[in-house]
Amino acid sequence: MKIRIVGLLAAASLILAFAFLVSTHAAPNTTNTPATRAASGLPATPAASPTEPHPQIREALGALRRAKEHMEHAAHDFGGHRVEALKATDEAIRQLELCLKFDKD
């Protein structure tokens, strides 16, 4: 009987420990990100300055511009969706640029 209770307590302790570990989020380690990207052969991305109010919007603009360039130079039409995708990408770029413009005012 005592062994069963000890076993149940041990199992409950392990479950709680794993639940705690899974629920805690580690902060990303950004101190060596440029070295890691360079070592992996990826182009180094300029780090957003700490005063940059919307780094995600600037990253999205860059990603949209790269996607647009890829679609413009692709050998196929993406199942007939390239023209509409280019229009939507242009509109998304325009909207994000307006967001940044009006944030500065």
Q: How far is CA 99 from the centre of its chain?
A: 20
Q: How far is CA 73 from the centre of its chain?
A: 25
Position 97 scores a pLDDT of 93
Total-model pTM: 0.50
pLDDT in tens, the chain (105 residues): 667 776 666 666 656 555 555 455 554 555 554 554 455 555 555 555 557 788 999 999 999 999 999 999 999 889 999 999 999 999 999 999 999 988 875
Contacts of 83 (CB under 8 A, 6+ apart): 77
Please give the pLDDT value at position 36: 47
Q: Tell me the C-alpha distance between 9 and 99, whole Å.
A: 55
Q: Rounded distance, CA 86 to CA 84, Å? A: 5
